[in-house]
Structure 1
């Protein structure tokens, strides 16, 4: 890492119109190759990019979309990463065992193959996002679990997934464990029944919280989101309009690049990895943390405690 000064990174933003895994891979491969032609060496794909966002409904037949860690989707991306000598962050619906499934990111470090995995820790259960039906949360610790950065030739990647992005605790723990980047594969969008003002408030909150993780921890943040409309499988008049807006921010939260709502392809930026050091010197948040006073953070709620 000491010899690397600037990294060109890309975040993909694609629509996923069907559950045809081969066609979806070929679409992603085409964009990845374009990004590599522009010098990108770290490439992040969106959440659950192998298929449509199936969590809009609770249906047991959708478990058939899951694959083991070494499934055909991983093998295809592993071969591609080796050929192009790039670091890929991919996302999958993992079948760990019968009845045990995860929302999992895998990091592939060029020809070295898999560098590590991260299993989504925070699992939502909201209208249109019924993920608790499908996904078991990642374990808090263990060799392949918890908030542990994944070492690669480009640095340590603090990979988190979508709903994890709303939690400053997750970002902080990754930073404290030495992450050089915070990375968020994401699938989030609007409920079409919400009015324009509410939709914009949600989008603004989403961008703000993730840029704040860059500020609070002094590290770059990379976010890859889906775009396009995906209809509810049981009610085609309803569904999710994924809001795109994938972006890369620097260690002061400054936007280095950002896609529009409906842009398809990728956006990329050059990241000066040395800036994190200089930013942390002038904003030494880690130095001034009162670790002796934060015991309450491990409690569910404090307002009903005795003063």
Structure 2
């Protein structure tokens, strides 16, 4: 299966983002991509750097956005993973990944389950935690275990997707660092981000894909601050082998891999077989005092 990772920066407006993404999707399909993955909240700037009620307006066109990306998937005859700001009802919003089938139909969606609240990542202000659970999405190219950004720090989410038959794990992402941090701290954070997801690949015997954004985006409430997004989008194979890792520039990368390798790895390392599930009940506790 050929998969395309589209790593981009904010182009200044939603209109420019749609134009840029549409052009890049066509390029990916011309290179043989069967599945195209966009990064987290790819239609806009990363607006969660501050708490601003006017930003909820970005979700007002959710239904229109669904129709737009459905058309793009259909015209390009490609399975398309998008990341949208979903308005479910007045005062109820989600960070939602929507997967479109090649005919433009919605194959499924995933609402971000783990919601961060850190300096300049004020997502709890905007997003209600997902209520769809960890359910792989069936498509013509495979069973996709779609998770979103902050979910990547939780091995339980990856494990449940694997136990439900996901062929691979995909994380649309928006993560970076602050310029005021030391270079040593920036590197530690980047390596931790890469390391935890490589562990998901190894522990579950599955390929893991992360698609991040790039570029510096100012905090609109405080122009002195901002996030410099890492890029570094990657693909790890089912033994944690690095199949691809980007730099901090925009790109469209198409890679091919064979899901049969996961079967081979799981025969060599049968971690799912050896799990002592009868002793895992404590995982449902917040903390074991």
Q: Do Structure 1 and Structure 2 share a fold, with TM-score over 0.5? A: yes
The counterpart of 2:111, out of the listed 82, 105, 119, is 119
C-alpha distance in structure 1 between counterparts of 2:106 and 2:198, whole Å: 28
The counterpart of 1:45, out of the listed 38, 43, 52, is 38
1:73 Cα deviation from its structure 2 partner:
2.0
- Tell whether 2:1 aligns with 1:14: no
TM-score (norm 2): 0.98
The counterpart of 1:72, out of the listed 35, 42, 64, is 64
- Tell whether 2:202 aligns with 1:215: yes
1:228 Cα deviation from its structure 2 partner:
0.2
C-alpha distance in structure 2 between counterparts of 1:67 and 1:287, whole Å: 46
- Tell whether 2:79 aligns with 1:93: no
Whether the 8 Å contact between 1:214 and 1:253 is mirrored in structure 2 is yes
Whether the 8 Å contact between 1:257 and 1:268 is mirrored in structure 2 is no
- Tell whether 2:180 aligns with 1:177: no
Describe the SS at the equivalent of 1:82.
Answer: helix
Q: How many residues align?
A: 289
1:180 Cα deviation from its structure 2 partner:
0.5
Whether the 8 Å contact between 2:70 and 2:104 is mirrored in structure 1 is no
Deviations 1:108-127 (Å, cap 9, x if unpaired)? 01105100000000000000
Describe the SS at the equivalent of 1:79.
Answer: helix
C-alpha distance in structure 1 between counterparts of 2:82 and 2:149, whole Å: 13
- What does residue range 255-270 of structure 1 map to in structure 2 within 5 Å? 255-261=242-248, 263-270=249-256
Deviations 1:206-253 (Å, cap 9, x if unpaired)? 011111111111111111001000001022221000000001111111
RMSD (Å) for aligned C-alpha atoms: 1.0
Whether the 8 Å contact between 1:68 and 1:96 is mirrored in structure 2 is no
1:67 Cα deviation from its structure 2 partner:
3.8
- Tell whether 2:124 aligns with 1:132: yes
- Tell whether 2:20 aligns with 1:27: yes
For 1:4, the equivalent position in structure 2 comes to none
Moved more, 112-121 or 162-171: 112-121
- Tell whether 2:138 aligns with 1:151: yes
- Tell whether 2:276 aligns with 1:290: yes
User: Following superposition, which runs of at least 4 residues in structure 1 exceed 6 angstroms of deviation?
Assistant: none
C-alpha distance in structure 2 between counterparts of 1:285 and 1:238, whole Å: 44
